[in-house]
A and B are shown apart, each in its own frame.
Chain A
């Protein structure tokens, strides 16, 4: 296991550099949008990766509620934290792309809004983890993740209907994508997924380690306190 980590890290670095080469040089320039469109190779894979991580978090939370295993909780924490980072990348790159292309920074587009709401829910998830007292953090967080998942379809339908009442600029969608572009996109997604897995893995190990240290300290603090009296 210990040797697998550096190997995986090197592999990920290779994939990321290849992805960068693909996005900046290999992929053809888009006809109407120009070079700005290349942000697409970061925006879209980040979004997919973030959604995958949130899904991992949901599964881990439900498993935690059933099994109450601390390791699953550490995985839920790691995936939520990394997921929020990728989700932030989506929300930052989105407007940077939108401004030159559509002339506006933000629009209540279905996917954008859904991403924003998910981001808000998971930021509140991390806040809850930060502020609740240690013993009950995992349970509360897992419950919040489960309720957050119930919210997603409702958000989806409400925004979908909202848009039918309030016409918005039509964005993306439709039309076929150049196979070379698709290739670069998928390559970048693979690289991002590997990168996310790598960060999650080390965050997971850090969390497990932190808990072990905490436990040892807890037992020692009591011993020290007991003998000093």
Chain B
């Protein structure tokens, strides 16, 4: 029969191919992210010392906003011509679709972060005093936290009347602990004042808890109506 990993891979390849052909999500996301970086650097023009303290917050809030733009696009494509119904009448598992979408968004948002980070470094003259390699863990775990919940709540919000505006309203309150962890971990590493270990562990726990929770409930959301 249809193996779940096979369906996930096919869906991921299909999404990447569609994105490659239309480039709607990545273009709008990139430009939006660039705007956020520029506006932030106008609004906050700190000294090197201060910028280390606030950069964690700035960077992650910028990533969060940019990610919301990308996440809203995820399901928009499935709604055109109601293609999602074709998935729903098939025997393929709901979670295969979810994992494909999460992986796809993880790739998009990671690309975005990789492009935005150098801009932040340039505008704010950032240099980490603490162990910089830990930033990689923070980035991966933090991005996963944003993307796993974001994909889930985007699937929920496309079913509502006010679609696009609903996603941040659902996503932000639930993401508060993860966001706090990302910001604090990044600031701790940049300033070198504290160890970021607790925050990285918290992020890992958050990822495990919410990945499990989303996988548990996604079928209900997809086949809800």
A–B contact with Cβ pairs below 8 Å: the answer is: yes
Question: Which chain A residue has the least Cβ–Cβ distance from B212?
Answer: A150
Complex: how many Å from CA A97 to CA B224?
45
Question: Which chain A residue has the least Cβ–Cβ distance from B162?
Answer: A131
Complex: how many Å from CA A128 to CA B194?
39
Q: Are B176 and A155 in contact (CB under 8 A)?
A: yes
- With an 8 A cutoff between CB atoms, is B161 at the interface? yes
Q: Name A158's contact: one of B161, B177, B221 (CB within 8 Å).
A: B177
CB proximity to A under 8 Å, residues B194-225: 194, 198-199, 202, 205-206, 209-210, 213-214, 217, 220-221, 224-225
Question: Which chain B residue has the least Cβ–Cβ distance from A129?
Answer: B160
Q: Which residues of chain A have C-beta atoms less than 8 A from B77's C-beta?
A: none
Complex: how many Å from CA A158 to CA B142?
14
Complex: how many Å from CA A28 to CA B86?
69
Question: Which chain A residue has the least Cβ–Cβ distance from B217?
Answer: A143
- With an 8 A cutoff between CB atoms, is B91 at the interface? no
Q: Name B156's contact: one of A128, A135, A159, A165 (CB within 8 Å).
A: A128
Q: Are A135 and B169 in contact (CB under 8 A)?
A: no
Complex: how many Å from CA A140 to CA B209?
19
Q: Which residues of chain A have C-beta atoms less than 8 A from B194's C-beta?
A: 165
Given A151-B174, A158-B177, is A128 in contact with B224 using a C-beta cutoff of 8 Å? no
Q: Are A143 and B166 in contact (CB under 8 A)?
A: no
Q: Which residues of chain A have C-beta atoms less than 8 A from B162's C-beta?
A: 131
Q: Name B159's contact: one of A123, A136, A146, A154 (CB within 8 Å).
A: A136
Q: Are B160 and A132 in contact (CB under 8 A)?
A: yes
Given A121-B174, A127-B169, A147-B213, is A133 in contact with B202 using a C-beta cutoff of 8 Å? no
Q: Name B184's contact: one of A144, A146, A157, A165 (CB within 8 Å).
A: A165
Q: Are B202 and A157 in contact (CB under 8 A)?
A: yes
Complex: how many Å from CA A153 to CA B178?
12
Q: Name A150's contact: one of B169, B199, B213, B221 (CB within 8 Å).
A: B213
- With an 8 A cutoff between CB atoms, is B58 at the interface? no
Q: Are A120 and B166 in contact (CB under 8 A)?
A: no
Q: Are A128 and B160 in contact (CB under 8 A)?
A: yes
For A121, A123, A140, A159, the residue with the greatest tally of chain B CB atoms inside 10 Å of its CB is: A140
Given A131-B166, A151-B174, A151-B177, is A144 in contact with B202 using a C-beta cutoff of 8 Å? no
Complex: how many Å from CA A123 to CA B210?
20
Q: Are A154 and B161 in contact (CB under 8 A)?
A: no
Contact code string B6-27 (vs A, CB < 8 Å = 1, else 0): 0000000000000000000000
What size tier do the contact residues of chain B reach?
20 to 34
Q: Are A144 and B177 in contact (CB under 8 A)?
A: no
Q: Which residues of chain A have C-beta atoms less than 8 A from B169's C-beta?
A: 124, 127-128
Complex: how many Å from CA A127 to CA B178?
22
Q: Are B209 and A133 in contact (CB under 8 A)?
A: no
Given A128-B170, A133-B159, A133-B160, is A146 in contact with B217 using a C-beta cutoff of 8 Å? yes
Q: Which residues of chain A have C-beta atoms less than 8 A from B205's C-beta?
A: 154
Question: Which chain B residue has the least Cβ–Cβ distance from A144?
Answer: B170
Q: Are B176 and A117 in contact (CB under 8 A)?
A: yes
Complex: how many Å from CA A24 to CA B194?
47
Q: Name A128's contact: one of B166, B206, B214 (CB within 8 Å).
A: B166
Q: Are A121 and B209 in contact (CB under 8 A)?
A: no
- With an 8 A cutoff between CB atoms, is B180 at the interface? yes
Chain B interface (Cβ < 8 Å from any Cβ of A): 152, 156, 159-162, 166, 169-170, 172-174, 176-178, 180-181, 184, 188, 194, 198-199, 202, 205-206, 209-210, 213-214, 217, 220-221, 224-225
Given A147-B213, A158-B180, 18 more A-B residue pairs with CB atoms under 8 Å apart are A65-B220, A124-B174, A127-B169, A127-B170, A131-B162, A133-B160, A139-B221, A139-B224, A140-B221, A143-B156, A146-B217, A154-B177, A154-B178, A154-B209, A158-B181, A158-B202, A161-B199, A162-B184
18 A-B residue pairs with CB within 8 Å: A124-B170, A124-B172, A127-B170, A128-B170, A139-B224, A139-B225, A140-B159, A143-B217, A146-B213, A147-B152, A151-B174, A154-B177, A154-B178, A154-B206, A157-B177, A158-B180, A162-B184, A165-B194
